[in-house]
Structure 1
Amino acid sequence: MKINKLGFTILVLCFFFNLNAQTKKVSKDEKVKKKYVQLIKKADKKYDDYAYVDAIKAYKRIVKKGSYDEKVVQRLANSYYFTADLRNAEKWYETLFKINKEQLPEYLYRYAQSLKSVGHYEKADEILQIFNQKAASENRATLVRNEKNYLAEIKSNSGRFEIGDAGVNSDFSDYGGTVYDNKIIFTSARDTGGVAKTSFKWTNKSFSKFYTADLLPDGSVGKVKTFHKKGHGKYNESSPIFTKDGRTMYFTRNNFTDGKRGENSKNVTLLKLYKAELVNGEWKNVKELPFNSNQYSTAHPALSPDEKTLYFASDMPGTLGQSDIYKVTINPDGSFGTPQNLGPVINTEGRETFPFISGDNELYYSTDGRPGLGGLDVYVAKINEDGTLDDVQNVGQPVNGKQDDFAFTIDSKNRNGFFSSNRENAHGLDNIYRFTETKKLVCEQELAGIVTDAESNEIVANASLILFDENFNTLQTIVSDEKGNYTFSKVKCGKTYAIRITKEGFNRKDVSITLKKENGKTELPIALQKNIKPIETKQIAVNKVMVKPIKIANINIGSDLVKLLHIPMNFFDLGKSTIKKSSEPQLLKVVGALNQYPKLTLDIRSHTDSRSSSESNQILSDKRAQSTRDWLISKGVDPNRLTAKGYGETQLTNKCADGVKCTEQQHQQNRRSEFIVVTM
């Protein structure tokens, strides 16, 4: 009978997959070879049965004979990794890469995590860069690329906790820490004695059970005792949470219902979420939750402050990695909605597990899928009112360290809590630590600058400035002072913002900026262009409508409909459809005209020269026209006022057709943009 102990003791947190790799043939005489094959089969059987402690012993016997078979070393390294012995995992992953550097990306990632566990961060980052190249499309690789300064960010978040031993640890695995009825409820694999000892073959330790101890006024704990009055069978249980009225408990347990153990298609017993009710002082009416399955695991429940949403970890279909964080609605009648994956903002291709929702509606969870200090680190993200999540932040040291750190819980009122770790110098495999948070994790910047006239460089006082978030929601509205200074205070780090500046006599300006992920101040000077004023008043007929022609700086708007707003300028590099930075000042004049005439609508026409094929020129001009339209929209122009079309090389302005020798200047005359007034 196989039992998957995912979720109990630290390694049990991972919902993992086995990686296959080709092995090198062993060249020995047939008798020795046969014995060797039998040893590998026995070791592989223990590995496949999740008996990693026994698998380690078996694989080590094989390598001691001097045979460093690639698959044997892979599985030996994995066995140490899955049992949270990252120090030994690092040793054998190093051996693996000496045997063959070309390994699957997952081995690169595990090797990097193991290197961090022994403090080799520089080498870990080198391995992660190779991982980044091999698994470029992975969310983990994107995080590696985007968070190159992750150690500095973690350092800035550190030093906010006072930690100590929780006072309930044993020589076995102890983890979790839920406060209920002024008691700590936790999970332990300690053996409480008895005639028959039961153990789990993953770690050769006892099956995990719930234990409890009183929380005393002086901060110490009372005597540890079992939480249940009655014992239970050969299964693991962990991660209890309780409703505020204390009448309902959600928890994790091996697939074991009504005295029967459930199995998946491979005869493995997975994890399920259960619900129990308090009846006359005893937890009864144990029922599994309806979204469980024999074919995947669900574990580690967490309740939202209003108790209307249940969060949990799972490797159910749709999971992005080895395990993801999900949420599910708890309906008023006690039924459940459909589980929803929290998506790539939270989840990666690695392990996301042990969610916890604080009273401040913050999601704490552990993952090894983000650049961290090693193993599982604890992270936090604020849950907004609309259900979206703010940036994910590492809570820093000393909660996080080189090993696995998980099962973080906190009381939002007194800022006390518990977390678990398998860090060195602990009593057993995993230990529980208490903490007090001395300073909340708030990363804020001051965004400030001075508003000036772009031409004269004089200060612009009393300009109106609006700060928008990346979804264009208004955050703050201020006015520059008499010296042109402006300041947006308490702006969140690491986010992209837009600022809209308006002032009578000047064109409206929109600028964007992405702030660093560190506390401090960011300076952003802003220069405004004065309004563009019409200097001609003779009326002309445009589409049978009388309008005033406009002359904007060196841009003439005449009566020729094809060139009503003709800019004889190349906005683009040869063969490109991205607007050059040097072209933006000219295009800003078009924005000014559109702002000056609110009813003006334009048709954008893009043309190429005759070089390249007519087909590719048509495609390129279409892209250029659309790129121009998109640029104007990005500056606040209503999309409904703009249409765009490319004409390729069909409307050349000179003789420079196919086969005609022309200068670069003559070709450039054909690479042009025209803005045709449709209505005004």
Structure 2
Amino acid sequence: MIKKISLLLFIMSLTLWGQAIAQERLVNKANEQYQDYSFSPAIDIYKRVMEKGYVSADLLKKLGNSYYFNADYKEASETYKKLVDEYPADVGPEYFFRYSQTLKTLGNYEDSNEVMAKFTEMTSNDVRASVFKTEKDYMADIKKNSGRYDIGPFEYNSPYSDFAPSFYKEGLIFSSDRDTGNLARYRHTWNSKDFLDLYKVNADSISENQVTKIDDEVNTRLHESTSTITADGNTLYFTRNNFKNGKYIKDENGVIRLKIFKAVLTEGVWGSVEELPFNSDDYSVAHPALSPDEKTLYFASDMSGTLGESDLFKVAINEDGSYGVPQNLGNTINTEARETFPFISKEEVLYFSSDGHPGLGGLDVFAIKIANDRFDGSVVNVGEPVNSNMDDFTFIFNEEDRKGYFASNRAEGMGADDIYSFLETTPLKLDCIQEISGTVRDKISNEVLVGATVKVIDENNEEVSSAITDSEGKYILSLDCDRGNFVRAMMNGYVPSEEYLGKSDGKPRIIDFYLERDKVTAGFGDDLAKLLQLSTIYFDFDKFNIRKDSEVEVEKVIAAMEKYPSLKIMVNSHTDSRGRDSYNLWLSQKRAESTVNYMIAKGISEDRLQGEGFGETKLVNGCENGVRCSAKEHELNRRSEFIIME
């Protein structure tokens, strides 16, 4: 009996071992499909393995990614949730980010933000984390930009995938995997869809109101997608799988990369197809877009130097037809996720799609002003209804008639991807303009400086704008708050003063300047109070203590003496004519001593100060003994002067 039990256990163990081997082989096969970017068959195999009870963190990661890159965000979200719940120790930050994105596509923004907060805790120098921390109210910003477009259907959509519109003559070129009319339909295992070709509509008289496939030398049996064409209609740049001499080329991992090709129109036929020199068999270069002057080509790539899964780059198109060195557009635009599908409008606005910047879910369309070769401005989500909780991409826009097109895989579409038309009813605010204002004053006297110049200087030390202070010493200026600027105040006879302003939210700001004299031009016997435009130091009737309103003026004299250590002062004090002459002489001497003692108490050395009282002997008006004068006129004589001795 024991032998029978042992034999049964042995047979059962062999069966389980055989099942494990079978599951392992299935997983290995799925992994091979995954590595080949064949996500659709990989999904089928991973699901079969899971149904048999075999689950691991690695399997869930690859299954979740397979759904994610096929834009099946509901299944991706459920898979990522299972991953983070059951294997938290094995989950890196990127999976939290993708999980957060899938939650957005399902409209679950609260949970998405919670997952995104975990993502930020796990990263240090990630652009996406930095943006999330600084733009917690991104939904409010998106709402402000929403409602500016009236969108409508594209009448030439099909039940298949239609996307990547580009302007061509009076019509469009776009990409589609609709029926090509061939008996043999080529399918791609990424998503089990047919391969894409380029089509045109309303672009040539022979194809009026008809969708026509572009000439065969452009289209092949692999993918052709995003395109851009020169203004004269003679040069076409487009994306194609790595395809040469009728054969597709794989990299060392077995992946068929994307490349940009150029075709030339000769006698109505597209030909002379050649790939661009910065393509590679080892990385993808795709989704071309031309600058308005056609001297620069923009594109997406995962080449060396890319921050994320794909970045936006630019390359110069030289006059001789050669190309410069590709340049990454930098981390204001690019994140560690996907930036792709660029388009540059005539007003030099770069539109692109991203799932790295805060959005509504999936790929959203963003915009940034890039005039003057700047790529450090504000990246702005264009809002609903162009953006949705699904993928929104390949946005193009004609600023003359405010019309354009974009593609989306939103649920209400006819096919997998559909093209939509739109009319922009309200322009998108892209420039960050900040108003600054303030007053320019003398640092010592606090007097306003009329006619001072206030300039905005950029980080290249180039003047951007300037203003002159008015009769109240005030100025108002505007500056670009998307970049750093210096605000500089200047006036003849004064040392310039400036303040640096970095990027900001654009809220108005007050900046007051207090300028120091570059030198005191004075000689023996001059009144410092007049040189510094000080108000007169007055005393109350029959009093020698310094009044509160006069303390401010004495403090200005102290400030001047602190700034100019060699300065020595004689304080001359005076009275009005009322009272006995001898008493007034005594009172004025007490006023001089009171002023000197105040300054000594504030830190001015005693050997730099002297004081003398003159009584009523140096009146500033005709209010002598026996002359009737008003109280205000008498007050003008009760004063102290600050005479320069050295």
Q: What is the TM-score when the length of structure 1 is the normalising length?
A: 0.70
More helix by share: 2
| Corresponding position: 1:343 with 2:327 | no
Identity of aligned residues (%): 40
* Aligned: 1:497 with 2:497: no
Measure the CA separation in 1 of the matches of 2:427 and 2:480.
14
Say yes or no: does 1:464 pair with 2:453.
Answer: yes
- 3-state DSSP of counterpart to 1:179: strand
Post-superposition CA distance 1:164-213 (Å, at most 9, x none): 11222222211111121212110011123432222111111111011222
1:123-153 per-residue CA deviation (whole Å, 9 max, x = no partner) reads: 3223223222322122333323333333333
Structure 2 counterpart of 1:355, from 342, 349, 352: 342
- State how 1:569-648 maps to structure 2 within 5 Å: none
Residue among 171, 174, 180 paired with 2:162:
174
Counterpart in the other structure of 1:71:
58
Among 147, 151, 171, the alignment partner of 2:139 is: 151
Please list the CA deviations of residues 457-492 of structure 1 after superposition, one character each: whole Å capped at 9, or x if unmatched: 776554422123344432211123334443224x43
Q: Answer yes or no: is 1:416 the counterpart of 2:408.
A: no
Inter-partner Cα distance in structure 1 for 2:490 and 2:407: 53
Q: How does 1:207-286 map to 2 (within 5 A)?
A: 207-214=195-202, 222-228=209-215, 232-286=219-273
How far apart are residue 452 of structure 1 and its match? 6.2
Q: What is the CA–CA distance in structure 2 between the aligned matches of 1:471 and 1:126, rounded to whole Å?
A: 41
The answer to whether the 8 Å contact 2:377/2:483 transfers is no
CA contact (8 A) 2:440 2:469 kept: no
- Would the aligned equivalents of 2:376 and 2:482 in 1 still touch at CA under 8 Å? no
Q: 1:478 aligns with which of 467, 473, 482?
A: 467
* 1:57-206 alignment runs, 5 A limit: 57-102=44-89, 103-206=91-194
1:449 aligns with 2:437: yes
Counterpart residue number, 1:372 = 359
- Check 1:481–1:295 CA distance in 2 against 1; reply closer, same or farther (3 A cut): same
Cα separation, 2, equivalents of 1:329 and 1:399: 31
Partner of 2:539: none
Is the Cα–Cα contact under 8 Å of residues 324 and 352 in structure 1 kept in the other structure? Answer: yes
Query: Residues 203 and 558 of structure 1: is their aligned pair in 2 closer, same or farther, counting only changes over 3 Å?
Result: same
- What are the superposed Cα offsets for residues 353-402 of structure 1, whole Å, 9 maximum, x if unpaired? 11112112222222222222222222222223356553332222222222
Distance 1:345 1:28 in 2: 57
The answer to whether residue 308 in structure 2 is matched with residue 315 in structure 1 is no
1:84·1:404 contact (CA, 8 Å) conserved in 2? yes
SS in 1 for 2:172: strand
* 1:526 is the counterpart of 2:512: yes
* Cα drift, residue 456 of structure 1: 8.1
Max Rg structure:
2
The residue type paired with residue 524 of structure 1 is I
Deviates more, 1:271-280 or 1:449-458: 449-458
Q: Counterparts of 1:370 and 1:212 in 2: how far apart (Å)?
A: 32
CA distance in 2, matches of 1:244, 1:507: 54
Q: Is the 8 A contact 1:319 1:341 kept in 2?
A: yes
SS in structure 1 of the partner of residue 428 of structure 2: coil
Is 1:534–1:552's contact at 8 Å kept on the other side of the alignment?
no
Tell me by how many angstroms 1:505 deviates. Answer: 7.5
Q: 1:525 to 1:137 in 2, by over 3 A?
A: closer
Say which SS state the counterpart of residue 126 (structure 1) adopts. helix
- What secondary structure is seen at the aligned counterpart in 1 of 2:498? strand
Q: Distance in 2 between matches of 1:293 and 1:50?
A: 18
The residue identity in structure 1 corresponding to 2:393 is F
Q: Residue type of the partner of 2:337?
A: G
Secondary structure of the structure 2 residue equivalent to 1:30: helix
Cα offset, 1:525, TM superposition: 4.5
Distance apart, 1:38 and its partner CA: 2.9
With the length of structure 2 as denominator, give the TM-score of the two structures.
Answer: 0.73
Pick the aligned partner of 2:372 from 364, 377, 385: 385
Give the superposed CA RMSD.
Answer: 3.2
Residue 467 of structure 2 aligns with an amino acid whose one-letter code is: I
1:328 to 298, 309, 315: 315
SS of 1:291 mapped into structure 2: coil
- CA distance 1:229–1:82, change in 2 (3 Å): closer
SS in 2 for 1:55: helix
Aligned with residue 24 of structure 2, among 28, 33, 37: 37
Q: Is the 8 A contact 1:254 1:272 kept in 2?
A: yes
Matched, 1:300 2:260: no
- 1:552–1:460: structure 2 CA closer, same or farther, 3 Å change rule? closer
SS for the counterpart of 1:71 is helix
Within the alignment, does 1:487 sit opposite 2:473 as a pair? Answer: no
291-300 or 262-271, which deviates more: 262-271
**Could you tell me which of 272, 291, 296 is aligned with 2:278?**
291
Q: Give the letter aligned to residue 130 of structure 1.
A: K
Do the aligned partners of residues 318 and 230 (structure 1) sit closer, same or farther apart at CA in structure 2, a change above 3 Å counting? closer
Contact 2:364–2:387 (8 Å) recurs in 1: yes
Deviations 1:296-341 (A, max 9, x none): 1111111122222211111122222211222222222222222222
Distance 1:421 1:44 in 2: 29
Q: Please identify, of 344-353 and 466-475, the stretch whose mean Cα deviation from structure 2 is larger.
A: 466-475
Whether the aligned pair in 2 keeps the contact of 1:506 and 1:528 (CA below 8 Å) is no
How many residues are treated as equivalent by the alignment?
Answer: 517
Letter of the 2:86 counterpart? I
Q: Secondary structure at the match of 1:268?
A: coil
- With over 3 angstroms needed to count, the CA separation of the structure-2 counterparts of 1:142 and 1:35, relative to structure 1, is same
1:95-134 per-residue CA deviation (whole Å, 9 max, x = no partner) reads: 1100122311211211121121122223322322322232
Distance in structure 2 (CA, Å) of the matches to 1:529 and 1:338? 48
Determine the C-alpha separation between the residues in 2 that align with 1:341 and 1:379. 17
Shift of the 123–28 alpha-carbon distance from structure 1 to 2, 3 Å rule, reads farther
Report the Cα distance in structure 2 between the residues aligned to 1:532 and 1:242, rounded to whole angstroms.
Answer: 60
* Per-residue deviation, 1:349: 1.7
Answer yes or no: is the 8 Å Cα contact 2:444–2:559 preserved in 1: no
Cα 1:505/1:159, change in 2 over 3 Å: farther
Q: Does 1:509 align with 2:475?
A: no
